[in-house]
Structure 1
Amino acid sequence: MQLQQIDMNLFPVLDAIYTTRNLTRAAERLHITQPAVSNALARLRRALNDQLFTRTPNGMSPTPLTESIMPRVQQALALLDSSVTEQHQFEPATAQKTLRLSMNDMAETLVLPPLLEHLQRVAPGVSVESYYVPREQLVRELAANNLDFALDIPMVSATQLNQQRLVADRYQCMLRPDHPLAGEASLTLEQYLALEHIHVSSRRSGPGITDIALNKLGRRRKIKLRVQHYRVAPLVVLKTDLALTVPISLARQYPARCFELPFQIPQMDWHLLWHRSQDEDGAHRWLREQVIALFR
């Protein structure tokens, strides 16, 4: 394979098809016509002697060769983009930029209020977009520069990413302030198991970290309510006798009675994740420093 003979202008097309899985959307992203995208793909197929993508009912599916080369292609494109766009020192006070974050609703609760308050003072031209990207898609979205950062648990196998721990959050049991057990000095395991509980999970079924810890003790709690998001669960707690096992950083935001758990459960580690190709980007470096500073 003679990579030096390939027109380097074709690789942004490869990246656009890989990211969108669709020739029309790739053309829209690149602001060119679909025939131009098809022609570029045909040239790449001849140069690399591989189909690169196959048509499926779900869109253009990458071949094994495409999957193997895309991390390096995306890293190279990101480095080139940052070299072109960050020729001058980043000036927060005058910058016009959109910060794109992937995080769940609990991370949004912890991060967005103080972050927006800070940005409003020092970088009023910086806007923020927050949405959740499934964990298995994070590396691809960060490499493709569709995301700036993700807030998630550590991803030790993602060698393309850099990670910075923000906070180690331990769990507590949250009850309404006038709950029958609110006056207790502490909560025993039997009292905890006698309660009816709220379980927060985006999945339809399956145990959570609390249930796994209890299963190791040969015990089981009673789930009365299963919900998708952490934001609604404390509101239910404040109106009922239900209990919620929740990270302390969220529990302290409500007028609730919180107890230390009467059993061991792993803490929740929040990490800031970004692609290595963004390390030297001035704007990216400044923005990640602002997020990290929120937790110091």
Structure 2
Amino acid sequence: MNIARIDLNLLVYLDVLLRERNVTKAADQLGISQPAMSNGLKRLRVLFDDPLLIRTSKGMTPTERAQEIQPIISELIIGLEKAVQPRAKFNALESEQVFRVMASDYAEATLLPPLIDKLRKHAPGVILDIMTPSDVSFLDVEQGRVDMVINRFDSIPQSFHQKVLWNDDFSCLVSNSNPVLERFSLDSYLSANHVWVSKTGMGVGVGMDPADVQRLGWVDEALSRIGQKRRITVFTRHYQAACMLAEQQDLIATIPSKMARQHENNPNVTIVEPPFIIPPIALTMAWSPLLQHNPAHRWMRQLISQTADDLNRLY
């Protein structure tokens, strides 16, 4: 049978009839006449090729077929009612929703602490499930299994919605005991040892080749444009590790400035401007079109954007 030919009103009639087991009461509940309900029952009997309700000494009794389909019909009606109801507004104060957010180490260290502070004030029951770029694929995002991704992307699927949260320049984090600080110049920078750190996009990473300048990213591409190359002795995918190594070793960490400023009050390191021009980078938030109009998701995106704006004004 072609479902498009079924009058859905009949299913509503059947749901009430099977609950009330009385044509008159069912008609009253639906606000229709008894003859209209009786006619509906006749059509239902033809549709299901079954009497559905039989008059007995105990009143109208559902047949075996009616008992079999009753929970199915009831669940269908409930689902339809939910589908046509206006979507409720997101109540941040009462919500206990879990938001799954993929965030790079850079975003996690800079953006998420003040974001969590805002959540504790405005949505204390909301839970953040923070995932790393290696945990997530673009397919996970496209299908809505991950709410949003926050990172620096070389490319994003065209179907995704996206917003640049901020642009950031670069700074060098150097241990106060590193002799390079005595005269910080391009020559001293190039003669020093460096820690490389980056994790762009998503997916499981692979090992780095110091000779592959294009894959090394912004800092090394900028050096390449002036015909120079730095000596990288440590590769890491974690900014916090790079900062720790810069503090404890004779390694220079050339990192986004908002990350470097996390260490402004650290007495063991100095933040200095790179001795060459490095183009700024963009921190981007991206999400699936499936979640574009979701009220909770819209609220969270707005909160993230506000937090990013606050940080941009601060740094």
**Is the TM value for this pair above 0.5?**
yes
2:170 aligns to what?
A: 171
> Larger helix proportion, structure 1 or 2?
2
2:272 aligns to what?
A: 259
Stretches of structure 1 that go unaligned for 5 or more consecutive residues are: 6-79
- Are the counterparts in 1 of residues 196 and 234 from structure 2 also a CA contact under 8 Å? yes
Could you tell me how far apart the structure 1 residues matched to 2:229 and 2:129 are? 39
How many residues align structurally? 215
2:65 aligns to what?
A: none
Q: Percent identity?
A: 26
- How big is the alpha-carbon RMSD for the aligned residues of Structure 1 and Structure 2? 2.6
For 1:1-296, list aligned pairs within 5 A.
87-134=87-134, 137-138=137-138, 140-154=139-153, 158-182=157-181, 184=183, 187-201=184-198, 202-206=205-209, 207=213, 208-209=216-217, 210-254=219-263, 255=266, 256-296=269-309
2:72 aligns to what?
A: none
2:290 alignment partner AA: S
- Are the counterparts in 2 of residues 99 and 128 from structure 1 also a CA contact under 8 Å? yes
Q: Which runs of 4+ in 1 moved over 4 A?
A: 82-86, 154-157
| Bigger radius of gyration among the two | 2
- Shift of the alpha carbon at 1:100? 0.6
1:231 alignment partner AA: Q
Could you tell me how far apart the structure 1 residues matched to 2:281 and 2:85 are? 36
Could you tell me how far apart the structure 2 residues matched to 1:183 and 1:109 are? 30
SS of equivalent residue, structure 1 residue 266? coil
Could you tell me how far apart the structure 2 residues matched to 1:293 and 1:142 are? 22
- Are the counterparts in 1 of residues 180 and 189 from structure 2 also a CA contact under 8 Å? no
Could you tell me how far apart the structure 1 residues matched to 2:300 and 2:208 are? 37
Post-superposition Cα deviations, 1:60-117, rounded to whole Å, max 9, x if no partner, equal xxxxxxxxxxxxxxxxxxxx9x968982111100011001111222211112211111
- Shift of the alpha carbon at 1:164? 0.8
1:218 alignment partner AA: G
**Given the two structures, how large is their TM-score scaled by the length of structure 1?**
0.66
Greater CA drift, 197-206 or 284-293: 197-206
CA gap 1:283/1:136 in 2 versus in 1, 3 angstroms: closer
- Are the counterparts in 1 of residues 197 and 242 from structure 2 also a CA contact under 8 Å? yes
Could you tell me how far apart the structure 2 residues matched to 1:283 and 1:200 are? 34
